[in-house]
Structure 1
Amino acid sequence: MRKHPDGKTISRRSLGILGFTSVFAASGLATAPAAFGVGEGPGYGGNETINSSILHTYDELVAELKKQAARQQILELEVIGQSVKGRDLYLAKYLTDSANPTILFLTQQHGNEQLTTEGALEFIKHLGTGKNSAVLEGVNVLIVPMLNPDGAMGDVNFSLDDYIATGRHLTRYNANAVDLNRDHVVKIQPETQALHTNVMRKYKIDYMIDLHHQGATAARDGELVSGSILYPTTPNVSATVLEGSKRLGAVVFHAIDPTGWGHLGRYVGGTAETISRNGIAVEYGISTLLFEMRGMSDHFYDSYVLGQKSNGYLIKQTVVTLTETTRAIADGSIDTADTSFWDTLAEQGSRGEE
Structure 2
Amino acid sequence: MELEVIGQSVKGRDIHLVKYISDPDNPTILYLTQQHGNEQLTTEGALAFIKSLGTGKMKGVLDGVNILVLPMANPDGAMGDVDFSLEDYIASGDRNLTRYNANEVDLNRDHVAKTQPETQALHYNVLKEYSIDYMIDLHHQGTRSAVDGQLVSGSFLYPTSPNVDADVLEGSKRLGSIVYNAIQPTGWGHLGKYVGGTAETIGRNGIAVEYDISTLLFEMRGMSDHEGEWAVLGQKSNGYLIKQTVVTLEATARAIADGSVETADTTFWDTLPEQYNLPR
Same fold (TM over 0.5): yes
Match of 2:163, SS state, is coil
Match of 1:142, SS state, is strand
Cα deviation code 1:286-335 (max 9, x no counterpart) = 00000000000001111111211010000000000000000000000001
Does structure 1 residue 291 correspond to structure 2 residue 218?
yes
Contact 1:112 1:172 in 2 (8 A): yes
Structure 2, unaligned stretches of length 5 or more?
84-92
Cα gap change, 1:130 to 1:259, in 2 (>3 Å): closer
Letter in 2 for 1:91: L
Cα deviation code 1:34-62 (max 9, x no counterpart) = xxxxxxxxxxxxxxxxxxxxxxxxxxxxx
Q: How does 1:22-41 map to 2 (within 5 A)?
A: none
| Aligned alpha-carbon RMSD (Å) | 1.1
Structure 1, unaligned stretches of length 5 or more?
1-74, 158-165
Cα deviation code 1:249-288 (max 9, x no counterpart) = 0000010011100000000000000000000000000000
Query: Which contiguous aligned blocks of 4+ residues in structure 1 show a shift greater than 6 angstroms?
Result: none
Contact 2:28 2:134 in 1 (8 A): yes
Cα deviation code 1:119-144 (max 9, x no counterpart) = 00001012034452410000000000
Equivalent residue, structure 2, for 1:273: 200
CA distance, structure 2, for counterparts of residue 243 and residue 147 of structure 1: 27
CA distance, structure 2, for counterparts of residue 111 and residue 306 of structure 1: 15
Q: Displacement of 1:193 after TM fit?
A: 0.2
Q: How does 1:132-151 map to 2 (within 5 A)?
A: 132-151=58-77
Percent same amino acid at aligned positions?
76
Match of 2:60, SS state, is helix
Aligned residues: 271
- Could you tell me which of 158, 165, 171 is aligned with 1:244? 171
Contact 1:299 1:305 in 2 (8 A): yes
Match of 2:140, SS state, is strand
**TM-score, scaled to structure 2:** 0.95
Contact 2:157 2:176 in 1 (8 A): yes
Contact 2:95 2:225 in 1 (8 A): no
CA distance, structure 2, for counterparts of residue 231 and residue 317 of structure 1: 18
Does structure 1 residue 326 correspond to structure 2 residue 253?
yes
Contact 1:101 1:140 in 2 (8 A): yes
Equivalent residue, structure 2, for 1:152: 78
Equivalent residue, structure 2, for 1:4: none
Letter in 2 for 1:88: D
- Could you tell me which of 83, 102, 110 is aligned with 1:175? 102
Letter in 2 for 1:120: A
Greater relative CO, 1 or 2 (CA 8 Å, sep 6+): 1
CA distance, structure 1, for counterparts of residue 6 and residue 179 of structure 2: 28
CA distance, structure 1, for counterparts of residue 95 and residue 226 of structure 2: 12
Q: Displacement of 1:351 after TM fit?
A: 1.3
Match of 1:254, SS state, is helix
Equivalent residue, structure 2, for 1:347: 274
Q: How does 1:70-85 map to 2 (within 5 A)?
A: 75-85=1-11
CA distance, structure 2, for counterparts of residue 148 and residue 248 of structure 1: 25
Equivalent residue, structure 2, for 1:314: 241
Larger Rg: 1
CA distance, structure 2, for counterparts of residue 102 and residue 334 of structure 1: 13
CA distance, structure 2, for counterparts of residue 352 and residue 312 of structure 1: 25
- Could you tell me which of 254, 259, 263 is aligned with 2:181? 254
Contact 1:156 1:176 in 2 (8 A): no
